[in-house]
């Protein structure tokens, strides 16, 4: 009987909350990674002097893994004298580069431009210790933190699989996902990572495109409306009423005539007189606008308009009109609106939804699997 239980456990991990059962199967697909695999995080480029710090001994190895230097507290070097990759390892966890303290090791790797890429190579789960609290507040409910941990892990694994021939897998900025290093780590978010260790969201055995954003403003968007391409069955637009609990659920800003003229000068319409929304996506986001100026008119896609205006347009779920102070913009939500709404996740967790219920709401038809090898 005990052997039977062991066999069953090796195939399915069941976690129950009330009437809800979460089935987590092993993930052993042909493209699966090993649980011991590390992620490569791009920290920046070094073109001259470089300093790496630690609270203990730093070991420097060459491309053949031969120890070439041992130092205490810091290593300073002129990278222009380097001809091949080197790596830094600390005897105590934590290497610091440009004020960011990271786990794992730091690699210096030459690139085609003659500079060196600074790359943090770190076990995936330890990477998540810093990512989750960099993405959402550590004081959020545990189920929301678990949902974010699975989002961030799935995103990272997909990048690892897609970037095998690239110099690195992810960046340490929101171009990938936020990664502030060890100083951002928190016991609550570390617990969320450990409680979901190795768990991914998959569809047809593959890690999904795990897009997430701050606040959908009440309704999420489909990725094809934002980046083009084909529709994804697990990323349909869904209502997200719990966004009301969060920052930027509603917002407004007033842009002066001078700023509007400056930011939209590339359109060649002269001084902007009015802006009209011509069409919206099914989720209510701006698809196409017409900018009318003294010297002409121009039609512009909503996402291009947002890029030109910057942080004042927090999402494409907005309206705009001219008033006596300039141009009044009122909107809902923050971010591209695709996938999980982080503030929606917070609101659901406050209402006692589990991480699985949260994720299945934003990503339809997904399954959960754990990295097992």
Residues 258-309: tens digit of each pLDDT: 999 999 999 999 999 999 999 999 999 999 999 999 999 999 999 999 999 9
For residue 112, the model assigns a pLDDT of 81
Flag whether pLDDT at 18 surpasses 70: no
**What rounded mean pLDDT belongs to the chain?**
91
Asked if the 38-123 domain carries CATH number 2.60.40, the reply is yes
Within 87-172, residue ranges assigned H as helices are 124-135, 142-162
Place of tokens 């754990």: 370
pLDDT per residue as tens digits for the range 47-105: 788 999 999 999 999 999 999 999 999 999 888 888 899 999 999 889 999 999 999 99
Q: What is the reported pLDDT for 4? A: 47
Per-residue confidence (pLDDT) for residue 111, from 0 to 100: 86
Domain ranges within the chain, ordered by starting residue? 38-123, 125-245+336-371, 250-332
What tokens were used for 225? 């409306």
Q: Which residues contact 161 (CB under 8 A, 6 or more apart)?
A: 31, 33, 207
pLDDT in tens, 226-267: 999 999 999 999 999 999 988 899 999 999 999 999 999 999
How many whole angstroms separate alpha carbon 13 and alpha carbon 370?
9
- Answering whether pTM is above 0.75, one says yes
Q: What is the pLDDT of residues 116-132, one digit of tens each?
A: 999 999 999 999 999 99
Measured from the Cβ of residue 40, the count of other Cβ atoms closer than 10 Å reads: 21
- 186-199 confidence digits (pLDDT tens): 999 999 999 999 99
The tokens describing 95, both together, are: 């290497």
- DSSP 3-state of 63: coil
Report how far residue 336's alpha carbon sits from residue 174's, in angstroms, rounded to the nearest whole number. Answer: 13
């Amino acid at each position: 009987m005990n052997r039977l239980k062991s066999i069953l456990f090796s195939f399915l991990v069941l976690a129950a909350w009330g009437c809800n059962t979460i089935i987590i199967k092993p993930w052993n697909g042909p493209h699966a990674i090993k649980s011991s695999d590390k992620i490569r995080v791009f920290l920046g480029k070094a073109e001259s002097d470089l300093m790496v710090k630690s609270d203990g001994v730093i070991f420097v190895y060459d491309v053949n893994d031969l120890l070439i230097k041992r130092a205490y507290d810091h290593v300073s070097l002129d990278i222009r004298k380097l001809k091949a990759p080197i790596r830094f390892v600390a005897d105590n966890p934590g290497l610091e580069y440009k004020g960011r303290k990271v786990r794992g090791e730091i690699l210096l790797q030459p690139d085609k431009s003659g500079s060196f890429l600074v790359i943090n190579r770190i076990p995936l789960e330890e990477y998540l210790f810093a990512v989750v609290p960099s993405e959402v507040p550590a004081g959020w409910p545990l189920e929301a933190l678990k949902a974010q941990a699975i989002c961030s892990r799935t995103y990272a694994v997909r990048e690892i699989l897609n970037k095998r021939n690239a110099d690195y897998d992810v960046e340490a900025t929101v171009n990938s996902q936020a990664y502030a290093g060890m100083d951002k780590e928190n016991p609550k978010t570390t617990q969320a990572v450990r409680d979901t260790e190795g768990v991914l969201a998959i569809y047809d055995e593959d890690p999904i495109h795990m897009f997430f954003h701050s606040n959908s403003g009440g309704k999420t968007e489909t990725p094809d409306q934002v980046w083009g391409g084909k529709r994804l069955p697990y990323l349909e637009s869904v209502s997200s009423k719990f966004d009301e609990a969060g920052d930027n659920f509603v917002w407004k800003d007033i842009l002066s005539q001078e700023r509007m003229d400056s930011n939209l000068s590339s359109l060649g319409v002269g001084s902007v007189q009015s802006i009209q929304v011509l069409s919206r996506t099914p989720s209510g986001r701006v698809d196409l606008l017409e900018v009318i100026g003294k010297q002409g008119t121009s039609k512009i896609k909503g996402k291009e308009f947002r890029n030109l205006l910057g942080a004042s347009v927090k999402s494409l779920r907005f309206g705009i009109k001219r008033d006596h102070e300039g141009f009044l913009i009122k909107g809902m939500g923050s971010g591209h609106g695709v996938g999980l709404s982080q503030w929606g996740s917070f609101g659901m967790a406050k209402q006692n939804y589990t991480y699985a219920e949260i994720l299945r709401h934003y990503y339809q038809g997904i399954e959960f699997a754990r990295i097992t090898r």
